[in-house]
Amino acid sequence: MKKKHFLVGVVFALCLIFAGSSYTADTAYAKGITKASQVKKLAKKQVKGAASIRVKKDREDGILVYQAKLLKGKKQYELVYRASDGKLVSQSWEISKAYVKKGNGKLIGLKKCKNLAKKQVPNGKITSAVKKRSKGIDFYDIKIKKGSKKYELKYHARTGKLVEYEWELTAASQKKKNVISEGQAKKAALKAAGGGTVVKVKLTSDDGVKVYEVDVISGNFEYEITIHAETGDILEIEKERIHPSGSGDGGGSGPSGITQAQAEEAALKAAGGGTVIKVKLDTDDGQKVYEVDILNGDYEYEVEVLASTGAILKTKKKAVTDADPGNQPDPGQQVSLAKAKEIAAADAGLAVADVTFTEAKLDREDGVLVYEIAFYTATYEYEYEINASTGGICSREQKKLKQTGNGDPGSTDNPDYAISLEEAKSIAASHAGFSLSEVRFKEAKQDWEDGQLVYEITFIKDSMEYEYEIDAASGSILDFSQEWDD
């Protein structure tokens, strides 16, 4: 009898453990989503084994959401999470167009398709069922209502295969979360400023997001703090020194003041470390100042340093919510500018010594630090974007320079030397590292460019769009670029 009670107790304890772990997972972002890494984690859990995750912040029906796009095999997924509580409000997938064929045989019939839809969404109510045709392929579009969700299913009318699937919460279930109180906003601001006196509180909207703007005086500084009105998260902190009357930090340590390196050091100390992405010497209120931009973790800092003494006049801290922190550079791993040049030149099949650089700088693109590299040779001009953290190539562009003198033999329009459209497509796909069967062509046509007959080729592979311009006479690549296909 005691053994039986012991086993029951063990089972009950295990249930509590599993229930607790389940509860933790479901409420991991109960305070709301504030950065893309949270979305990435949720999306990976939802679609196991998916790759190429991209996250974007948006607003739908006045509600702040995060959209995650993923690839898994032949399917492209899109998940939408509500920012206020991390709830999944919409999920869809579709088979990539390249894998959907026209098919043979008779249409399966609308009645049979409805039965397939009922099996896909048991106990759902079909509200619409219509036959459509797109790019020579027949489909059945079925809309279903079930509980708080609306479904839309797309079936191939000849094979009966489900090629698109989507559900979303109905408008009635999309209730906005209440904002925090003014008292809670004050408390959060004072904590962020390390104490002081609140002198102003304002509830407003910033890019469609409700926020509290709180001004705090603490010691010799004034803080302007922006707080997410739904989650209570600190979005931005701006700190500025209050100059006492009759004094001033403009006094001096000599006409030369501090160096740029000393200004960067002071700014990094104020930001608690990170990576300097921009430095500018400017004049503010008659004083020479260094304006230093720093990226540290999930925040971007704008620090103003007095050039004469090195005193910190102003610090602005802003959450980098649009970028994926996983893509942010680690100061200990960041690729150097010299290395970025080598990567770009090597990708073009050249050595650094063989090219002339026209641009080489560190910049930020969609929240990610990249090197913008531009160079040319006697015949081509190149432009690259290199991820400053990983060294990966974000984008590349190659363009043939116009020739002078006797001209370029490749520009002849003699039909005896002209290549076919299929050959041009094969040249483009092969240059990108693929076979013709692996890519989906969007455009393939012949055109004239500056008196030269060319083929303009555009194709898609793994959500990346490639564009090529190929000499119709010689088959040489005159221009090419690649970018994410949105």
The pLDDT assigned to 327 comes to: 39
Q: What are phi and psi of 332, to 5 degrees?
A: -80, -10
* C-beta of residue 458 within 8 angstroms of C-beta of residue 467: yes
Q: How confident is the model at residue 11 (pLDDT cuts 50, 70, 90)?
A: very low
Q: Region 432-455: what's the mean pLDDT?
A: 83
* C-beta of residue 370 within 8 angstroms of C-beta of residue 388: yes
Residues 199-208: tens digit of each pLDDT = 888 888 776 6
Pick from 258, 265, 344, 341: which is nearest to 306 by CA? Answer: 258
* C-beta of residue 196 within 8 angstroms of C-beta of residue 190: yes
Find all residues with CB under 8 Å of 143, minimum gap 6, and list them: 126, 127, 128, 129, 150, 151, 152, 153
Q: Region 471-480: what's the mean pLDDT?
A: 83
Res. 184: pLDDT tops 60: yes
Poorest-confidence range of 130-134, 191-195, 367-371? Answer: 367-371
Structure tokens at 23: 């509860």
d(CA 455, CA 485) in angstroms, rounded, equals 21
Res. 79: pLDDT tops 70: yes
Q: Region 447-466: what's the mean pLDDT?
A: 81
The pLDDT assigned to 173 comes to: 56
Residues 192-241: tens digit of each pLDDT = 888 888 888 888 877 667 889 999 888 878 888 999 888 888 888 888 87
Separation of CA 219 from chain center: 39
Between 390 and 250, the more confident residue is 390
Find all residues with CB under 8 Å of 160, minimum gap 6, and list them: 108, 112, 113, 116
* C-beta of residue 365 within 8 angstroms of C-beta of residue 347: no
Give strand ranges (E) for 83-136: 88-95, 125-134
The pLDDT assigned to 485 comes to: 61
The pLDDT assigned to 118 comes to: 92
Distances (CA, A) of 204 to 167, 207, 267: 33, 10, 31
Residues 269-300: tens digit of each pLDDT = 988 888 777 777 777 777 888 888 887 777 78
Q: How confident is the model at residue 17 (pLDDT cuts 50, 70, 90)?
A: very low
* C-beta of residue 477 within 8 angstroms of C-beta of residue 468: yes
Poorest-confidence range of 56-60, 167-171, 234-238, 290-294? Answer: 56-60
* C-beta of residue 460 within 8 angstroms of C-beta of residue 485: yes
Res. 443: pLDDT tops 80: yes
Q: Region 144-171: what's the mean pLDDT?
A: 90
At position 93, the amino acid (one-letter code) is W
Burial of 225 per CB tally in 10 Å (0-12, 13-18, 19+): buried
Residues 376-417: tens digit of each pLDDT = 887 778 888 888 888 888 888 877 765 433 333 333 334 434
The pLDDT assigned to 34 comes to: 80
Res. 166: pLDDT tops 90: yes
The pLDDT assigned to 406 comes to: 37
Res. 5: pLDDT tops 70: no
Find all residues with CB under 8 Å of 135, minimum gap 6, and list them: none
* C-beta of residue 22 within 8 angstroms of C-beta of residue 41: no
Q: Where are the alpha helices (DSSP H) in 291-371?
A: 337-347
Q: Region 471-484: what's the mean pLDDT?
A: 80
The pLDDT assigned to 325 comes to: 37
Pick from 44, 57, 50: which is nearest to 366 by CA? Answer: 57
The pLDDT assigned to 451 comes to: 60
Res. 364: pLDDT tops 90: no
Would you list the DSSP string of 131-185?
EEEETTEEEEEEEEEETTEEEEEEEETTT--EEEEEEEE-GGG-PPPPPPPHHHH
Q: Region 334-339: what's the mean pLDDT?
A: 82
Q: Which residue in the block uniquely carries the two structure tokens 């030269």?
A: 452
Residues 417-427: tens digit of each pLDDT = 478 888 999 99
Poorest-confidence range of 91-100, 363-372, 404-413? Answer: 404-413
* C-beta of residue 341 within 8 angstroms of C-beta of residue 297: no
Q: How confident is the model at residue 58 (pLDDT cuts 50, 70, 90)?
A: confident
Query: Percent of the chain, pLDDT > 70?
Result: 79
d(CA 267, CA 290) in angstroms, rounded, equals 9
CB atoms within 10 A of CB 212: 24
Find all residues with CB under 8 Å of 477, minimum gap 6, and list them: 398, 400, 427, 428, 431, 468, 469, 470, 471
d(CA 421, CA 457) in angstroms, rounded, equals 9
